[in-house]
Structures are given as structure tokens and as C-alpha cells.
Structure 1
Amino acid sequence: MKNKKSVSKKYKTFKGLMLVSLGVIVLGFTQFSYCQVIEGKDYSSRSDVDHTFDMAGEDIFGQRFPSENFTYPDKVTGINVNALTTSRHNSSKMYQTHPQWTADGKYIIFSSNRTAQEGKGRQYYAVSMENYEIVQITTGDSGRNFHLGWNSGKAYFMRDNNIVELDLDRLLKDSEKDAVNEPENYEKILAKIPDSIGPSGIGLDAKETRVFYSAKIDERTSAIYSTEFKSGKTEKLKEVPFRIGHLQANPYVSGEVMYCWETGGDSPQRMWYLTVKDNGDVNNRPVFEESDTDWVTHEVFMGPDHILFNVMGHLDRLQKNKTGIFSLNLRTNKLQYHGQADGGGYWHVNASKDGKWIAGDTFDGRLYRINALDSTDVKLLTQGHRLLSKSPFTSEAHMHQSVSPDGKWVLFNSSYFTDNDIMLMPFRPDNTK
């Protein structure tokens, strides 16, 4: 991987070169775009403002961008929404199956193409919950299968089948001090996955001692593997006759993985659950066994023993059975219904860590908070984030909402301002306990 210089080093080098260049250039050539003194006025104090929206377009590890957040009151609810990104680039939160906040709650992690070359490639960034400044935290070909630590200040990703640990906490602290070193100073290779395996998706075990992932065997077969960090051992856990998607590890219970039969739409049996016991025994089973008219989607964990998911109701043929948001107890198989929205129904789901409150969105970009114990207690938080959409099959942003670990915030994608921005708002603006 090509090393990237820190922002401070790059800026100092750049500044020095420019001073030399300006000494050579004829003094009357005042329209040179990087001049600090133009027509007798010194603009050097504003030398970084051009990074606000167009950005430098350079892939620089640890570089910082000024805040671009904009807060506005929702036109319908009056609740303040904070657009954390507002540039011309495509910025997206991570998928709702994975953690969004660093373990200390100080930063939100998202991906963006703001430093992509020729429109290709994305990197991961951290936005501060304090001042909303943005820091680039990956570089080069380092963004695949990115996963934050559940409880540590680490992050994990794959590069050339190596499982790499990123000391994200130290990187962010160094960035705050403008003292970022080379990428390899923050990285450690934990294990090597055999080259015969093409890993896809990554689920970090609750103990942060191994990762689970899927891989394609052939056109009709996939498998789930695990790789341990300490021993480097890779093991095939289960082979299934379908494509595996949206693999996620239980954040609370070690050795448990939920994944789906991925078709890009409806599947015969969406949700599956795999458990690995301490003695190595593997159990694999379907959860919420579906009827012919059930279309299940967007499953997430709702505490250590429950999962939350949506049964789509946007087509006439799907409305023979009850549709909407459900939760399921993984230990007892007890099913609980949490209601349905109008206009085609709910789409994505997420919940507070204590399982008391659910966040559900709709195809046209409305976001609701639902009382998990009372499906009639529903509050509209914000709307208008998919202005042109009445179905899931449009190009506007998928909200993919996530509730913060402390239950105070809800984070989501939006097409309110641009094609895709990330937005943050209070999950309990009425101080609901």
C-alpha cells in the first residue's frame, strides 16, 4: 500500500513549495489561484476554506475537514435535525447491523467518496459529536468489511485477506493534535485468511477475539467461516445452498451469528441463526419460519436475546398476513408485533439498547419512534428524506437508521439536501424515559 503523509507534513511541504514558487513568479501575476496576497490584501488566514465543499480530492490518511453540518427544524414536527454532511459528495452511514459510534461515543463513523479518484473508491471517516469536524480514517485499499469494536477503541477491516486491527482511538487523538503518523503505525495484522477463500461481510464476535464472514463456494453455495485473532485459525462453520448476505454477530453473546438468504428481494426463508459452542459444535437454524406471502427484511439485534425485523406490506399479495415490525425472542421463539405504518408500511428497523424504543422508517422518508410495549404509542420524528419515493426501488437514500448506544440519538441517511447525506437527531426529543 502506498503510504500517505499526515496532513501537517503535507501542508508544511506544500506551503514551503508555494513560498518558493511565489518568489519566482512575477509580482504582477496576482491572479495565481494559490496566492495569499492578492491586490494588496492578505488572505492567508483563509487558506483552508476551499476544503469545505469541493474538498481537496486527495486520499490523505488522517486529514481533517471543517464541519459542514447544518441544523434545521423539521417542517412538520418542528424537531431539530442535524445534517452532519452537506457537501456535493455521497456520504453514507454504515449498515444498521454494525456499530456506528466509537466505543467512547465521541465520533460517528461513515463512508464517503469525497476523496475518490475519477468517481471511484470510498474511504471511511469519523465525524466528531462535539464540533462535527471530519477525519479521514482509512486510506488506499483499506475500506473493505470495516467494523468498529463493540467495546474497544479499535476497528477491524480486511486487506489482501489479512485481518487488520486499526488503533482508531489513538489515530483520532493524534488527529486532534495534528500529529498523525503513517498508517502502518496504527495498524496490526491479526491473522491471514487462506487465499482460497474470498471473504465477504464481517461480523465481530462479542468478545472481539475473532471474526465471522461468508464466502461464495460456487453459484449456488456459500459458507460461513471464522478466524481467530490469537491463533490465526480459520474454520469453515457451515455450508448452505444459497447466497449469504448481511452477516452480523450478536453484540452481546459470543459465538452467535445472524445472517440472511440474500436474493436482492424476497427469499423463501430470509433469516438464519448460527451458534458455535465452546466445544466447537455448530448449530444452524431458520428463525421466524415464513409463509408464502411473507417478505421479511432488515433484521437487527434488539438486545442479547431478541431480534427485530420488518415484514413488508407494500404489495397487495403480501397483505394476507399481518405485516409491519416484529421482534422475536431467540431463546423462546416468542413473537411480538409492533405495528404498521400507512403508505406502504415500514421498511428499516432499529431499537434502543434497552429494547424499549424502536425506530421505523417508510419508503417516502418518514422516521417514527415506536414504544416497544405499546404499538399505539408512535411519534413522527422527521419526514421528507425520500421526497420522490413511494416504493423501495428508487435511487434515493435508504435511511438505514441506527439508535445510539445511550439511546439519545438516531442516525440515518437522507436525500433531503443531496443524493445521500447522514443526519442526526434526538431520539427522545420529548424526554421520554
Structure 2
Amino acid sequence: MKINKYIILVSGSLFLFSLSLYSQIGRRFPSEKRIIVDSITGTKLVFLTSKPMGDSKIYQTHPQWTADGKWLIFRSNRVKGEAMAVNEATGDIIQVTEGGYSGMLNIAQKSMKLYFMRHAGNDVLQIIEVNLAKVFADSEAGKMKSVSNYERICGTTPANIKANGDLALDADEEWVYFKTGKEAAAKHLDFNVKIEENFGPRNMGAGPSGIAKMNIKTGETTHVISVPFQVGHIQTNPWKSGELVFCWETGGKSPQRTWVVLADGTGLRPLYPEADYEWVTHEAVITKDEVAIAIMGHRKVDILNEKPVEVTESTSVRNPENPGQESNWGPSGTREKPTGLAIVNLRTREMTIAGQTPSGSGLWHVNGSSDGRWAVGDDFSRSVYLIDRHTREMMLLTTGHKVTASDHPHPSFSPDGTKIQIQSAMLSKDNKSMNICIVHLPKTWLDRTYTKP
């Protein structure tokens, strides 16, 4: 009997040891890279992952490629709760976190570093830095060390501010910004400020909330701004330090979606002041002076009653394939006024509409190249459209990514503006699971020259 207990004890120890090795940072996975051609558009698609492992890209508000341009970081269930990197040239996949992460992954663009939040218990989060260069080198050499050789705890958030994982790295790579909870935010709001209630059918948007920042060298934490509504999608300007863009998050239409503020808490203003009939969403900083937004044109109008078409009881709940149709979003999102992929200049505050699909949902998630040549957007059909900003010409770049996919493509441009990263269910047998895919811009478009800048 004692022998059996000993065997069980040893077996259990070996199991825990093997589990530890299984989830270790630097673990390598074989290439799944597949190159195919879109059968409808003829566009070259490079799938960097092709197995149904719950892959998803980083949100289009944040960088996707590492500073050396060789790796893309993504979320995956290959090791549940951990982040992966895939080499664009070789297809090699490497685990780059150990111990989990919370919320947004932030890839530094001046150094080979990765930043994210990790729960440390009792409303406390740690800011973690990973030295990607060391992880990749040691993984390649087959000489991985313990995780402490690659990770550094930059600081710990105070429990009383109730920080969350909506993290953004400043262009100077010295500060990170994150959302704070209601009680902490309320302490910095004037007593006379009206606190907003939930807006829309998803019962989201109520305030107050705030933004704080941490110095990743010293761990110093400082309050930035409090607002009377729910903060979401905090992002920084990758080319201009201390400039933040964020949103009033309701899960759909907001009374005023987009906001700008500086890192010292000054300069708070709407990015694009919107009217009641405008449905603005999915803002993303695309150049040092510009932010792309989607002004939705996805709802039909009841001409006789001059209001958006009422939906039936069966469609009054959220519809992932054609979202935003619920009548209690209000009188917005129709094409009675200009809609489409809009670009707002942060300096002049001018807005231009780069393009719009001729029918259907309109563009939903939007992005653009940092050189100002291109804009891109997806729609509810999971199709991706490319826009030449010089000529305003639009083309269907790729389609067939399945309306049943677990999420939208969320297109993001590469730093050199020659390709776009999306997430796609094109290869999935269950029609839901997504993979990481690179869409190459057509050579005929890349070779274009212009008489005007």
C-alpha cells in the first residue's frame, strides 16, 4: 500500500513537471503556414496559422508586428491563456508568455519588448515586460531558462483604483495607460458633473470611469483623467508621445463615441463631434496626425414613418452577423446622411470620407497605412475592402471569411503599408474558429504613381 502511494506521488510529481514544461515560455510549435489565392478576388493570402486553435489577432487599435518586422503576436488556445508569436517568413510559432495575461497585448515599436497586464489578486494588476529578443534567441538555440530571465514586473497597480486590462503603451515606451474603476474615477470629478447612465440595449456605458498611467521604469502610478461615462479602447498615438484616443463604450452606438486627451489630463475633447443620427465606431490612429473611424450606414429606414425599421422580437437581441439592428439604439446608422470610412485630422480637425460600400452594412472595422496611401475596412459579411486615398478608388480585396466566424477580420496594416493582417475562418471546418492571415496588396496598386503628393 505504501508502495502504491509512493508511485502515485511520483507519478503526480512527474505530471506536474511535464505540465510545467508544456506551458513554458519559448515553447515551439511547427509551422502551419499555407499560401492560397482568394478564389473570388485573386488576392494572395498567407495563412500563418491554419489549425482550429482559437487564434485571434491583437485589436486593430494596437501594433501587430514586432519592432524588427519579423514576428506577429497573437492570442491563441494552443496553450490556454498564453500569447504566441509567429514568424512571418518561416511560420515558426513560439509561446511568448508564461503565467497568463489580462486584456490587451502591447508590442513595443522601438525595442523588442512586449507589455501586458497580469492579475495578482485582490483587484491588483501587474504590468509585465517580456524581452522578446531573448525569448526568440534562446528558443531557437533550444536553451530556454526560467521565465524570470525574460520577464520583468514594471509595477503593480493600487488595489483601490481597480485597474483593468485595457492597456496602451506610449510612443516614448516609458508610460502605459489603463482604465480605472468607478470609485477611483469619481474622486477626480467635479460634484456638479452629470454622471451618464447606460445607453442602448446592451446596458453599457454608465460612468464614471477614468484613465491612469504608470511609468514602466519606476512603477509610479498617476491619475490622467476622469469622465462621466464608461471608458473603452484606450490607444496611443504611436508617432506622438502623450496623445491618447479613447471611446465612450456602450457596445454599439454612443451619444459621443470618440475622445482625445493628453497624458497630463489636459486637452479633453471629442475627436469627431457627432450628431444623433450618426453611428460612429471603431476608431484607430493610422498616421501621426490622423484617426480612421467608421460612420455606419447599416440600418434601413421605414420611409413612411421616417425612422429606422423596427425589428421583430426574434431579432431584438444582439445579432453577431448583422449587429446594431435593435430599434432602441435610436435614430442612427442610416444612409440619409454621409456615411463610410472617415478620416479625422487631429491637428486641423477636418474630416473626409475616404469611401463607402454601395450597399449592405457599410464598413465596420477600419484602418490605414502610416504613409497615408491606403485605407482598409471590413463589413458584416467579413469581406475586406481596400481604398486608394489618392484616387478614392475602392476594391474588394478579399472575401469568403465566413459570416459565421467567431469575430470580424479587424484589418491592420503592416508598418511598410504593403500588406494587411486579418483574422479569418476561411479554413475552419466548424465555420467559426479563426486563423492569422496576411493579405498582400495587389502589385498593380503598389506600383501606382501619382502626379500629386
By the TM > 0.5 criterion, same fold?
A: yes
Matches of 2:248 and 2:103 in 1, distance apart? 21
Match of 1:165 in 2: 129
Structure 1 ranges of 4+ moved more than 4 A: none
Give the CA deviation at 1:198. 2.3
AA at the equivalent of 1:84: L
User: Which shows bigger deviation, 202-211 or 159-168?
Assistant: 159-168
The unaligned stretches of length 5 or more in structure 1 are 1-13, 19-55, 117-121, 389-394
Match of 2:180 in 1: 215
2:313 is the counterpart of 1:348:
no
**Pairing 1:136-285 to 2, within 5 Å after superposition:** 136-159=95-118, 160=120, 161-200=125-164, 201-218=166-183, 220-276=207-263, 280=264, 282-285=266-269
**Pairing 1:23-172 to 2, within 5 Å after superposition:** 58-116=22-80, 122-159=81-118, 160=120, 161-172=125-136
Matches of 1:348 and 1:373 in 2, distance apart? 21
**Pairing 1:286-305 to 2, within 5 Å after superposition:** 286-305=270-289
AA at the equivalent of 1:405: P
- Name the TM-score, length of structure 1 as normaliser: 0.81
Matches of 1:383 and 1:265 in 2, distance apart? 24
- Say which SS state the counterpart of residue 302 (structure 1) adopts: strand
Matches of 1:286 and 1:190 in 2, distance apart? 32
Matches of 2:265 and 2:96 in 1, distance apart? 38
User: Which shows bigger deviation, 56-65 or 422-431?
Assistant: 56-65
Deviations 1:82-133 (A, max 9, x none): 12111121101100111100000010111001222xxxxx211010111101
Match of 1:403 in 2: 413
Matches of 1:91 and 1:109 in 2, distance apart? 11
Deviations 1:144-203 (A, max 9, x none): 432110221111112222222111111112111112211110112222221212222111
AA at the equivalent of 2:401: H
Aligned length: 367
Give the CA deviation at 1:57. 11
Structure 2 CA distance for partners of 1:57 and 1:265, relative to 1, 3 Å: farther
Give the CA deviation at 1:229. 2.5
Could you tell me whether the CA contact under 8 Å between 2:26 and 2:135 is conserved in 1?
yes
Could you tell me whether the CA contact under 8 Å between 2:225 and 2:265 is conserved in 1?
no
2:344 is the counterpart of 1:328:
yes
Tell me how large the CA RMSD over aligned residues is: 2.1
Matches of 1:94 and 1:84 in 2, distance apart? 15
Could you tell me whether the CA contact under 8 Å between 1:363 and 1:386 is conserved in 2?
no
Could you tell me whether the CA contact under 8 Å between 2:378 and 2:408 is conserved in 1?
no
Could you tell me whether the CA contact under 8 Å between 2:48 and 2:88 is conserved in 1?
no
Structure 2 CA distance for partners of 1:66 and 1:231, relative to 1, 3 Å: closer
- Say which SS state the counterpart of residue 255 (structure 2) adopts: coil
Matches of 1:74 and 1:269 in 2, distance apart? 38
Match of 1:426 in 2: 440
Give the CA deviation at 1:60. 2.5
Give the CA deviation at 1:360. 1.4
Matches of 2:410 and 2:85 in 1, distance apart? 18
2:322 is the counterpart of 1:357:
no
Could you tell me whether the CA contact under 8 Å between 1:79 and 1:429 is conserved in 2?
no
Match of 2:394 in 1: 378
Matches of 1:74 and 1:134 in 2, distance apart? 24
Could you tell me whether the CA contact under 8 Å between 1:298 and 1:309 is conserved in 2?
yes
Matches of 1:199 and 1:145 in 2, distance apart? 13
AA at the equivalent of 1:71: I
- Name the TM-score, length of structure 2 as normaliser: 0.77
Match of 1:46 in 2: none
Match of 2:291 in 1: 307
Could you tell me whether the CA contact under 8 Å between 2:103 and 2:167 is conserved in 1?
no
% identical equivalent positions:
37
Matches of 2:419 and 2:163 in 1, distance apart? 33
Structure 2 CA distance for partners of 1:58 and 1:281, relative to 1, 3 Å: closer
Give the CA deviation at 1:387. 4.0
The unaligned stretches of length 5 or more in structure 2 are 1-13, 184-205, 301-307, 309-333, 449-453
